[in-house]
Structure 1
């Protein structure tokens, strides 16, 4: 199937050919790398936040590459790109990948010997002058997948970062980060929390902090609600600043949602005004800071909690120059409501030969 014939019906978004897997992977890989560069260049993150952000982005890229290898020659299963305002693989794809790799030892023992497969390929190509069957290519891809992909690097529903000393001039003494893939909207989020600790040794409650974050801050919600939940469950810490980055939607030819930016790009791809690989990435940053304190509970169970200021919401759009021009023409109200003018990133060039 030619790359020029990519079709994703409105009611589904299956990647069903080698060309589509390669094409989609290149798009996501390119867009996320451009995002990392822009986050630093346009001061969307501090230096330390950017280090954590890149680590989570690398896990996401690693997982999508693993999906590409797993599905490329599989005639029975197809990878699904989410249809909601996402543009990323459906969350279940990450779940399937993680569960599948937990059984990798069972599969590895059943795989054909690599040298035997190599000899068969050489014989087919050089002596018989025939194309290698898809079933055999799938076997080869399975060998690469099960022998090289590590389960611990798959982007899971919740990924916890370490607690470290916060950089100088931060809002608090310590900071930590975490990332989650929200099942409802099928988008990845990266979060940071700056906090003070009232005890003597932070090591004694690290496990407790990680557990509370996993159970309280693992989905999209109002940021002040998240902050209050964390504060109430951790009596020895005082959160001072929480920041959340929402990655997406990723607007591209595979996305079929109600978002105006997605529709503008899809229509102009269909009209051949812009190329098939045209894309844009929306990004939202929400922050909340603590103000004064208040007490909650009775005399014997009183707890001092933070009173949170009004959350700050900022929206951004990253896109190549031609797409920025297009969006100003087709969706001016969105462009004019951004926290700053659209951030220009590089054009993606994919050969369609």
Structure 2
């Protein structure tokens, strides 16, 4: 275990009440939907990437909504949230969710049959004129959770996208995407790779490509290191451009890190300069492109590899108008370092 994997109480914090969880889920759902629209509107990604970006964000929202249902009426356990440089549920929640669905049939077999529960609810409400006990509501929520949540829509530790033809504006003939939830940073990442293929049908090499990405590009690392590892592992693939999107942190009232944007928002909320539901979304895009090629290896085992240019980084901040004004006043050095001026999102009401 590296120092980055040491977990602190703030990495897996529990909110104080169910009301706070309702607010948290409302905020993260709203912020993500606003973010997707803004990324498309601002041209931060091209048309193909925007569609894929939205799909990965939809998987994230679906997964977090499944967590909401899971814990809705649970009095004993609560969803853990990473309040340090993240704002997302703790990565273990994603693992627990996937494990739950692996054992779906076993869990469903232990729950009260849904028809029996319906009869009991009707009897309690109509005949006894009493409210439903939370323990019974938890049983009902568990049935919904285990019977309706689809494992294939969960944003797992690693999510593989399909290989598609790339638009002609890029040097690479093909585009493959993938997403991963980095354990050390507790944030989701979305990656795109444009590449050429030394063969007639790229589909015949698909499994090798997918396996290489899963084994070498499933966590945050220096992008040129990732690019070189992929390049070495796939002799028939010639990567031309790799782009990685770092989603987060989501700065909000629950955060407890030392990030300057987070600190400015918390201070503004504390002084009642901005509303309690104020938030901001940081997003960072790293990309590295091939500048040329070279050959490596012996006479009988030469491999064409890419000579990568220096990695290029772009930082963005998305926030409602009032928060942007606050950040310009409180964190001008960060605002000046952005790829473009902070991008306005609607405020949560």
Sort the TM-score into its range (normalised by shorter chain). Answer: over 0.9
Query: What value does the CA root-mean-square deviation take over the aligned residues?
Result: 1.5
What residue in structure 2 maps to residue 125 of structure 1? 125
Shift of 1:273: 1.9
Q: Give, in whole Å, the separation in 2 of the partners of 1:157 and 1:135.
A: 31
Q: Is 1:72 aligned with 2:48?
A: no
- Aligned residue for 2:195, secondary structure, equals strand
- Aligned residue for 1:178, secondary structure, equals strand
What residue in structure 1 maps to residue 33 of structure 2? 33
Shift of 1:130: 2.9
Tell me whether 116-125 or 149-158 shows the greater mean CA deviation: 116-125
What residue in structure 2 maps to residue 81 of structure 1? 81
Distance 1:11 1:239, change over 3 A: closer
Q: Please list the CA deviations of residues 25-62 of structure 1 after superposition, one character each: whole Å capped at 9, or x if unmatched.
A: 11111111111101110001111111111111111000
Q: Give, in whole Å, the separation in 2 of the partners of 1:330 and 1:317.
A: 14
Contact 1:81-1:254 at 8 Å conserved across structures: no
Shift of 1:121: 2.4
Distance 1:12 1:276, change over 3 A: farther
Q: Give, in whole Å, the separation in 2 of the partners of 1:102 and 1:186.
A: 23
Shift of 1:18: 3.0
What residue in structure 2 maps to residue 326 of structure 1? 326
TM-score of the superposition, structure 2-length normalised? Answer: 0.94
What residue in structure 2 maps to residue 309 of structure 1? 309
1:49-68 alignment to 2 at 5 Å? 49-68=49-68
Q: Give, in whole Å, the separation in 1 of the partners of 2:29 and 2:209.
A: 32
What residue in structure 2 maps to residue 202 of structure 1? 202
Tell me whether 331-340 or 11-20 shows the greater mean CA deviation: 11-20
What residue in structure 1 maps to residue 3 of structure 2? none
Q: Please list the CA deviations of residues 176-195 of structure 1 after superposition, one character each: whole Å capped at 9, or x if unmatched.
A: 10000000000000000000
- Aligned residue for 1:276, secondary structure, equals coil
Shift of 1:94: 0.3
What residue in structure 1 maps to residue 4 of structure 2? none
Aligned pairs, number: 341
Contact 1:241-1:290 at 8 Å conserved across structures: yes
Q: Gaps (5+ residues) in structure 1?
A: 1-8
Q: Give, in whole Å, the separation in 2 of the partners of 1:71 and 1:315.
A: 34
What residue in structure 1 maps to residue 6 of structure 2? none
TM-score of the superposition, structure 1-length normalised? Answer: 0.93
What residue in structure 2 maps to residue 156 of structure 1? 156
Q: Gaps (5+ residues) in structure 2?
A: 1-8
Q: Give, in whole Å, the separation in 2 of the partners of 1:114 and 1:302.
A: 63
Q: Give, in whole Å, the separation in 2 of the partners of 1:212 and 1:114.
A: 44
Q: Please list the CA deviations of residues 236-288 of structure 1 after superposition, one character each: whole Å capped at 9, or x if unmatched.
A: 11100110110000111222112111111112222222222110000001111
Contact 1:53-1:190 at 8 Å conserved across structures: yes
Distance 1:199 1:280, change over 3 A: same
1:229-244 alignment to 2 at 5 Å? 229-244=229-244
Tell me whether 293-302 or 121-130 shows the greater mean CA deviation: 121-130
